[in-house]
Chains A and B, each alone.
Chain A
């Protein structure tokens, strides 16, 4: 695989790679795949889509790898999966949930998460819809990074929330290179929305919150994609008290009771000295999917592996995964909220780790 081990999302990729490492170590301890030890061939793409394409071309044409695992973000998985499709290779990706990735007619692409961009807002919007009219936010601001996963998700949020009567007072798409959110925060504060939805990819989530904090603007509800699932998120915005009440969507939780999940958490913590992140879990899940297919098919025939995955449900640490013809999983993500230093699952009820949902986010630092 190729990963952005340097560059703006290097911190995320490190734990993602560790997820792959743990999976390979466990497979090898169990005798390997088809009797052969799994060896990870990892290249660094520096979060550059062109380099990602070059890396996957090299992995297939020069390194002659037997199996491919995906990289991070839709931005990088788009070119990588195209290279894999051209070369007839199975491609299981740990992230890259942009809807556009599944409309290209590829039949050997599989997304190793329970849901994609389109289903990301499901649980949050359902929760807003369940609130009495008097408690529903009347106005919302939407900001999103120009990212193939984040911006379509925010567009879905906007459409669905507007349908519920939530008025849009601000909408802004920012460049991935944006590091200063002061102007956006000021403009939002001027419009005083009760709810803010941000399509955050990585550090931009914390940077945006810091800009809101600098002008002391507290929205009643804050939802951010991706960023709040980072273990460093609370410290980046001033501590757990500041994170209290922030919503996000998760593909995985350390407390979920899916088969193998607790074993994964314990093994990862033992191996790396820190609990796993969502990115580590997603990598591990991609490995599980690949492993299930190879074991069931009994060969490295890429077409046979893809056919098997299209016709079976795979048990993973993020729950049972089943895909449509395009490799789009047929599930939805978990709705989570930071509550007193812990990222709790608050919906769906079947997976909830907390029965309480903080309706109003406390003021920054007072959570």
Chain B
């Protein structure tokens, strides 16, 4: 089920982290690697941060992802350290651009991949509730996660129908083609949305009492370690800034 946005089944392998920890790690990686701060000792700390997704992926036995990550990130790193100086002209220019982009983006993308493939929707919603987000945010979010795979199903069914009827792009009527796809799509989505909300209301959603959630969430040793690493990144950055200025 590659169409799902978040996992719908629990995966109990590897280091189990609280969804909140995963989010914290994701944000930290994004801020420092994507945001790019390579001053002073921070450049070494970044290696530690970049290693986190690798560690998590391999303990979760997602080998394919782990190997790809090593190849792309490791490869770019090697290239940056040893290869770039030997290239000249346009080749150098292109290589610098590609390596720069890969180095900055891959860790966040891979961490994001890890978060979405190992967090179930219920865990995510439970985590949001623990973070005291109001129901007005958590309920629409959970509906969204439920709705995406369904919309994808509708989309592909309509695509099939169009192929079967020989309606396709290139007939010179791009506008009409879009209309053919969007109209049935909207009608089906509205119908499904309506049925979904009826089902939810008859199960008591949106009542005056506070919802509970059976997902077992909580911080454990591994969460504390990862959170400390994240905190460390921020502390180091502040230290670097303070030393500079």
Same complex origin of A and B = no
* Residues of B in contact with A (beta carbons under 8 Å apart): none
* Residues of A in contact with B (beta carbons under 8 Å apart): none
